[in-house]
Amino acid sequence: MTVDDRTWEGPSAPDRLNLLRQAKSIAIVGASDKPSRASYFVATYLQSSTRYKVYFVNPVVKEILGQPTYASLADLPESPDIVDVFRKHDDLPGVLDEAIAARAKTLWLQLGSWHEEVAADAETAGLNVVMDRCVKIEHARFHGGLHLAGFDTGVISSKRQVLA
Protein backbone atom coordinates (compact mmCIF):
# COMPACT_ATOMS: atom_id res chain seq x y z
CA MET A 1 0.00 0.00 0.00
CA THR A 2 1.34 3.39 -0.95
CA VAL A 3 0.64 6.63 0.86
CA ASP A 4 -1.73 7.54 -1.99
CA ASP A 5 -3.81 4.40 -1.31
CA ARG A 6 -4.47 5.30 2.31
CA THR A 7 -8.06 6.11 3.21
CA TRP A 8 -7.99 6.00 7.03
CA GLU A 9 -7.46 9.34 8.73
CA GLY A 10 -5.79 9.43 12.09
CA PRO A 11 -6.31 11.77 15.01
CA SER A 12 -5.31 15.41 14.64
CA ALA A 13 -2.28 16.84 16.44
CA PRO A 14 -4.45 18.20 19.30
CA ASP A 15 -6.11 14.79 19.61
CA ARG A 16 -2.73 13.02 19.72
CA LEU A 17 -1.56 15.47 22.36
CA ASN A 18 -4.69 14.70 24.37
CA LEU A 19 -4.04 10.94 24.11
CA LEU A 20 -0.51 11.46 25.42
CA ARG A 21 -1.67 13.77 28.21
CA GLN A 22 -4.34 11.35 29.42
CA ALA A 23 -2.08 8.29 29.35
CA LYS A 24 -0.37 7.07 32.48
CA SER A 25 1.12 3.85 31.11
CA ILE A 26 2.64 2.70 27.83
CA ALA A 27 3.36 -0.90 26.88
CA ILE A 28 6.00 -1.30 24.17
CA VAL A 29 5.18 -4.45 22.21
CA GLY A 30 8.24 -5.71 20.39
CA ALA A 31 10.59 -3.92 22.77
CA SER A 32 14.24 -4.78 22.18
CA ASP A 33 17.28 -4.84 24.43
CA LYS A 34 19.49 -3.85 21.48
CA PRO A 35 20.51 -0.16 21.59
CA SER A 36 20.48 0.02 17.77
CA ARG A 37 16.73 -0.68 17.61
CA ALA A 38 14.13 2.08 17.45
CA SER A 39 12.12 0.51 20.27
CA TYR A 40 15.15 0.75 22.59
CA PHE A 41 15.63 4.41 21.72
CA VAL A 42 11.95 5.13 22.36
CA ALA A 43 12.05 3.17 25.63
CA THR A 44 15.09 5.11 26.82
CA TYR A 45 13.38 8.40 26.07
CA LEU A 46 10.10 7.40 27.72
CA GLN A 47 11.91 6.25 30.87
CA SER A 48 14.12 9.30 31.19
CA SER A 49 11.92 12.11 29.90
CA THR A 50 8.31 11.26 30.75
CA ARG A 51 6.12 10.40 33.71
CA TYR A 52 4.70 7.24 32.07
CA LYS A 53 4.88 3.81 33.63
CA VAL A 54 6.62 1.93 30.81
CA TYR A 55 6.16 -1.81 30.29
CA PHE A 56 8.24 -3.90 27.92
CA VAL A 57 6.58 -6.77 26.05
CA ASN A 58 8.94 -9.32 24.54
CA PRO A 59 8.59 -13.08 25.10
CA VAL A 60 12.29 -13.76 24.44
CA VAL A 61 14.16 -11.10 26.43
CA LYS A 62 14.09 -11.21 30.25
CA GLU A 63 15.04 -7.58 31.00
CA ILE A 64 15.31 -4.25 29.19
CA LEU A 65 16.84 -1.12 30.71
CA GLY A 66 16.84 -2.72 34.14
CA GLN A 67 13.15 -3.63 34.05
CA PRO A 68 11.59 -7.06 33.65
CA THR A 69 9.84 -7.83 30.40
CA TYR A 70 6.44 -9.45 29.95
CA ALA A 71 5.71 -12.24 27.49
CA SER A 72 2.41 -10.68 26.42
CA LEU A 73 0.02 -7.83 27.17
CA ALA A 74 -2.06 -10.29 29.20
CA ASP A 75 0.84 -10.61 31.67
CA LEU A 76 0.98 -6.88 32.53
CA PRO A 77 -0.03 -5.88 36.07
CA GLU A 78 -2.48 -3.27 34.68
CA SER A 79 -4.30 -2.36 31.48
CA PRO A 80 -2.00 -0.11 29.47
CA ASP A 81 -3.29 3.22 28.27
CA ILE A 82 -1.19 3.07 25.11
CA VAL A 83 0.09 -0.04 23.32
CA ASP A 84 3.07 1.16 21.28
CA VAL A 85 3.73 -1.46 18.60
CA PHE A 86 7.10 -2.35 17.08
CA ARG A 87 6.06 -5.50 15.22
CA LYS A 88 5.90 -6.50 11.56
CA HIS A 89 2.75 -5.89 9.52
CA ASP A 90 1.49 -9.49 9.62
CA ASP A 91 1.67 -9.55 13.43
CA LEU A 92 -0.58 -6.51 13.89
CA PRO A 93 -3.97 -8.32 13.95
CA GLY A 94 -2.69 -10.54 16.78
CA VAL A 95 -1.33 -7.56 18.68
CA LEU A 96 -4.72 -5.87 18.31
CA ASP A 97 -6.45 -8.96 19.75
CA GLU A 98 -4.08 -8.82 22.75
CA ALA A 99 -4.64 -5.07 23.16
CA ILE A 100 -8.42 -5.53 23.17
CA ALA A 101 -8.19 -8.38 25.68
CA ALA A 102 -5.88 -6.27 27.89
CA ARG A 103 -8.42 -3.42 27.81
CA ALA A 104 -5.91 -0.97 26.32
CA LYS A 105 -7.21 2.47 25.39
CA THR A 106 -4.99 3.31 22.41
CA LEU A 107 -3.24 1.25 19.74
CA TRP A 108 -0.22 3.21 18.48
CA LEU A 109 1.63 1.88 15.43
CA GLN A 110 5.13 3.21 14.93
CA LEU A 111 6.62 5.03 11.97
CA GLY A 112 6.22 3.01 8.79
CA SER A 113 3.49 0.84 10.26
CA TRP A 114 0.08 1.13 8.59
CA HIS A 115 -2.76 -1.41 8.64
CA GLU A 116 -6.18 -0.02 7.75
CA GLU A 117 -8.06 -3.22 8.63
CA VAL A 118 -6.47 -3.32 12.08
CA ALA A 119 -7.28 0.37 12.55
CA ALA A 120 -10.94 -0.19 11.63
CA ASP A 121 -11.20 -3.24 13.91
CA ALA A 122 -9.52 -1.35 16.77
CA GLU A 123 -11.90 1.58 16.44
CA THR A 124 -14.89 -0.78 16.31
CA ALA A 125 -13.62 -2.28 19.58
CA GLY A 126 -13.48 1.20 21.13
CA LEU A 127 -9.74 1.85 20.93
CA ASN A 128 -8.14 5.06 19.77
CA VAL A 129 -5.71 4.47 16.91
CA VAL A 130 -2.55 6.25 15.80
CA MET A 131 -0.56 4.89 12.87
CA ASP A 132 2.75 5.73 11.23
CA ARG A 133 3.84 8.03 14.07
CA CYS A 134 6.48 7.70 16.76
CA VAL A 135 5.42 8.17 20.39
CA LYS A 136 8.83 9.63 21.23
CA ILE A 137 8.79 12.14 18.39
CA GLU A 138 5.19 13.14 19.09
CA HIS A 139 5.81 13.54 22.83
CA ALA A 140 8.97 15.54 22.24
CA ARG A 141 7.27 17.69 19.59
CA PHE A 142 4.46 18.61 21.95
CA HIS A 143 6.81 19.25 24.84
CA GLY A 144 9.52 21.23 23.03
CA GLY A 145 12.10 18.48 23.15
CA LEU A 146 12.85 17.51 19.57
CA HIS A 147 16.30 19.05 19.85
CA LEU A 148 17.21 16.43 22.48
CA ALA A 149 17.74 13.82 19.78
CA GLY A 150 18.99 16.08 17.02
CA PHE A 151 15.69 16.33 15.16
CA ASP A 152 15.66 20.11 15.45
CA THR A 153 19.04 21.53 14.53
CA GLY A 154 17.85 25.14 14.50
CA VAL A 155 19.19 25.46 10.95
CA ILE A 156 16.77 26.16 8.12
CA SER A 157 18.41 25.29 4.83
CA SER A 158 17.85 23.18 1.76
CA LYS A 159 21.55 22.31 1.72
CA ARG A 160 23.09 19.46 3.63
CA GLN A 161 25.15 20.61 6.59
CA VAL A 162 28.87 19.89 6.45
CA LEU A 163 30.17 18.86 9.86
CA ALA A 164 33.65 19.92 10.82
Q: What is the pLDDT of residues 59-110, one digit of tens each?
A: 999 999 999 999 999 999 999 999 999 999 999 999 999 999 999 999 999 9
- Position 161 confidence tier, pLDDT thresholds 50, 70, 90: very low
Superfamily assignment of 11-149 in CATH? NAD(P)-binding Rossmann-like Domain (3.40.50.720)
d(CA 39, CA 144): 21
pLDDT band at 143 (very low <50, low <70, confident <90, very high): confident
- Is residue 46 pLDDT above 90, yes or no? yes
Question: Residue 149 has what pLDDT?
Answer: 45
Which pairs with CB-CB distance under 8 Å and at least 24 residues apart come from 18-21?
A: 19/82, 19/106, 19/128, 19/130, 20/82, 20/135, 20/138, 20/139, 20/142
- What is the predicted pLDDT for the residue at 1? 56
Q: Alpha-carbon distance 142 to 118, whole Å? A: 26
**Residue 64: how many CB atoms within 10 A of its CB?**
23
pLDDT at 157: 42
Where are the domains positioned within the chain?
11-149
